[in-house]
């Protein structure tokens, strides 16, 4: 028995605090006001965990919330494939053939021919020798960064990385260096500061998920060659969105060869859940045996993998989905800026409006939902600014944009928020 436990049991060292007490007092500071989730709910300002009830009978771009049809501008289903008949039938057929799960890790009994086929197609999509799949996108980044590094290595990371990459870097034994967001001069300085005997991996996203801006992948690849570093790029929001074959921003820019490890997710353009990394065959074989979340997790269920394969087929056959998504996103940006909103720069389907006041942002999201429109609130520090994050998909057209703009006008007037409060200085 530990002595400290004994002393506390006798009361000799005072009263021990309750490890769960923080759960009673959890909250966030919103605009100088500390708000617990229960208080936000009571005030009608809680904008998370809304419950949606399906697509049956809904036109494109809409979803049921109870008995209401909601115009969905908060979804990352960029190619509008989660409800595609071919994708749904492929998932159902996989259940009929394989059942609902594998009940084992890929290392042991969890590898199906579906996994092997999907990994071959994903590797071909980004022009790499091999690929491996994971249960979630978060798990993919966390496992790959922690698995591919060892003590003495250096991870040189963009400042604005997704939490999954941050956590993977923190789990890694490598030294972490951060460079200013998308700043190639600072990246060069960071690489210059690494010792000659340190092995370096540059880590970036292609499309930064909250603010929707894109990385300078050509500049990154050039610096990697100059300083003999390798590059890990997260294409979670690039796959299906960019590239003539949907292979991501690196394909669009012609720098796939300069990306050593490419990561992607299935929960955006590929209509499923999970993620993958692609690289040379030795890198993938190494990760298959060293990435602990892969080794010690059950494999993706058959329906999820079959949905990915079907989504890849539709993506190749219907490039007009990607073209429509970009056209509508450009139109939305132009219309918002014409009305005076502060819209962050970008050429992606992520269209963020800056709403500096956090309470105003929560009220705006809540009242938009009253008008039948859903968009995402993004709070600092997840992004540099508080944002109304609008996601355009292939399901949207100009009439949906008109409905969104009308709802925004109505809500801004109702809340007496001048557009100038959401405008750049």
Alpha-carbon radius of gyration of the chain:
23
pLDDT at 31 over 60: no
* H-helix or E-strand spanning residue 222: helix 217-226
Q: What pLDDT score does 35 carry?
A: 61
Q: What is the pLDDT of residues 402-420, one digit of tens each?
A: 999 999 999 999 988 877 7
pTM: 0.92
Beta pairing class for 68-72 and 373-374: parallel
Pairing type for strands 230-234 and 261-265 reads parallel
- Which whole-number Å values give the CA distances from 338 to 187, 329, 331, 334, 399, in the listed order? 35, 14, 11, 6, 17
With 90 as the cut, is the pLDDT of residue 44 above it? Answer: no
Q: Which residue has the higher pLDDT, 8 or 347?
A: 347
145 three-class SS: helix
| pLDDT tens, position by position, 129-154 | 999 999 999 999 999 999 999 999 99
**Res. 40: pLDDT tops 80:** no
User: Is the bond preceding 328 in cis, omega lying within 30 degrees of 0?
Assistant: no
Tens-digit pLDDT profile for residues 363-400: 999 999 999 999 999 988 888 889 999 999 999 999 99
Going by pLDDT thresholds of 50, 70 and 90, the confidence category of residue 26 is confident
The helix-helix angle for 320-338 and 398-414 (nearest 10°) equals: 30
At 360 the three-state DSSP class reads helix
Question: Would you state the structure tokens that stand for residue 205, as one six-digit string?
Answer: 């996203």
Report the 10 Å Cβ neighbour count for 196. 5
pLDDT tens digits for range 305-322: 999 999 999 999 999 999
Q: What is the pLDDT of residues 189-202, one digit of tens each?
A: 999 999 999 999 99
Q: Which of 81, 138, 78 is nearest to 263 (CA)?
A: 138
**Among 17, 332, 293, which residue's Cα sits nearest to residue 139?**
293
Q: Count Cα atoms within 13 angstroms, Cβ side, for 136.
A: 7
For the chain, list the domains and their CATH numbers.
28-81+319-422 (3.90.1150.10), 85-317 (3.40.640.10)
* Residue of higher predicted confidence among 162 and 41: 162
Per-residue pLDDT band for 15 (boundaries 50, 70, 90) equals confident
Half-sphere exposure of 244 (CA within 13 A, CB side): 4
Distance CA 274, CA 188 (A): 33
Question: 166: how many CB neighbours lie within 10 A of its CB?
Answer: 18
Q: What angle, rounded to 10 degrees, do the helices at 137-148 and 163-171 form?
A: 30
The 3-class secondary structure across 265-308, one letter per residue, is: ECCCCCCCCCEEEEECHHHHHHHHHHCHHHHCCECCCHHHHHHH
Calpha distance 233→143 (Å, rounded): 14
| pLDDT at residue 417, as a whole number | 82
Q: What is the rounded average pLDDT of the residues 6-20?
A: 70
Triad 382, 408, 49: Cα angle to 5°: 45
- Picking from 46-60, 161-175, 206-220, which range would have the lowest pLDDT averaged per residue? 46-60
Helix axes 281-290, 137-148, angle to 10 degrees: 100
Q: Output the CA–CA distances (angstroms, integers) from residue 420 to 25, 114, 338, 341, 412, in the order listed.
A: 35, 53, 12, 7, 11
The answer to whether the CB of 296 falls within 8 A of the CB of 100 is: no
Under the banding of pLDDT at 50, 70 and 90, the label for residue 1 is very low
Contact 375, 336 (CB under 8 A): no
CB 36 within 8 A of CB 26: yes
pLDDT at 96 over 90: yes
Is residue 289 over pLDDT 60? yes
Q: pLDDT of 299-358, one tens digit each?
A: 999 999 999 999 999 999 999 999 999 999 999 999 999 999 999 999 999 999 999 888
Looking at every residue in the chain, the average pLDDT score rounds to 92
pLDDT at 422: 76
pLDDT at 12 (0 to 100): 58
Per-residue pLDDT tens for 100-133? Answer: 998 899 999 999 999 999 999 999 999 999 999 9
- Roughly what angle, to the nearest 10 degrees, separates helices 320-338 and 302-317? 80
Whether the per-residue pLDDT at 236 is higher than 70: the answer is yes
């Amino acid at each position: 028995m530990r002595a400290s436990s004994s002393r506390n049991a006798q009361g000799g060292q005072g009263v021990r605090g309750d490890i769960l007490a923080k759960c009673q007092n959890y909250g966030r500071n919103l605009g100088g006001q500390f708000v617990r989730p229960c208080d936000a709910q009571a005030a009608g300002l809680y904008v998370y965990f809304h419950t949606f009830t399906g697509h049956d009978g809904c036109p494109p771009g809409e979803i049921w919330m109870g008995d209401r049809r909601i115009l969905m501008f908060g979804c990352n289903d960029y190619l509008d494939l989660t409800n595609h008949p071919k994708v749904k039938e492929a998932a159902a057929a996989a259940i009929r053939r394989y059942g609902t799960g594998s009940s084992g890790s890929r290392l042991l009994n969890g590898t199906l021919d579906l996994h092997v086929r999907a990994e071959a197609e994903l590797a071909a999509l980004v022009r790499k020798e091999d690929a491996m799949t994971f249960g979630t996108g978060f798990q993919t980044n966390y496992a790959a960064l922690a698995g591919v590094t060892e003590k003495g290595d250096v991870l040189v990371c963009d400042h604005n990385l997704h939490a999954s990459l941050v956590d993977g870097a923190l789990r890694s034994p490598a030294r972490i260096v951060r460079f200013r967001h998308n700043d190639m001069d600072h990246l060069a300085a960071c690489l210059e500061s690494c010792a000659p005997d340190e092995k370096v991996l540059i880590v970036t996203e292609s499309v930064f998920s909250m603010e929707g801006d894109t990385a300078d992948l050509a500049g990154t690849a050039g610096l990697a060659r100059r300083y003999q570093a390798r590059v890990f790029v997260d294409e979670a929001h690039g796959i299906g969105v960019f590239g003539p074959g949907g292979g991501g921003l690196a394909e669009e820019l012609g720098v796939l060869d300069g990306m050593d490890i490419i990561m992607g997710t299935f929960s955006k353009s590929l209509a499923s859940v999970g993620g993958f990394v692609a690289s040379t065959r030795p890198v993938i074989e190494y990760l298959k045996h060293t990435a602990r979340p892969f080794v010690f997790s059950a494999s993706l269920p058959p329906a999820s993998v079959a949905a990915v394969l079907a989504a890849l087929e539709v993506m190749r056959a219907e490039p007009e989905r990607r073209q429509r998504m970009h056209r509508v996103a450009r139109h939305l940006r132009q219309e918002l800026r014409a009305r005076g909103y502060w819209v962050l720069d970008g050429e992606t389907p992520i269209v963020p409006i800056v709403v500096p006041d956090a309470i105003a942002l929560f009220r705006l999201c809540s009242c938009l939902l009253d008008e039948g429109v859903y968009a995402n609130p993004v709070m600092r520090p997840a992004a540099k600014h508080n944002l109304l994050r609008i996601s355009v998909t292939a399901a949207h057209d100009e009439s949906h944009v008109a409905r969104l703009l009308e709802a925004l006008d109505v809500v801004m007037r109702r809340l007496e928020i001048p557009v100038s409060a959401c405008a750049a200085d």
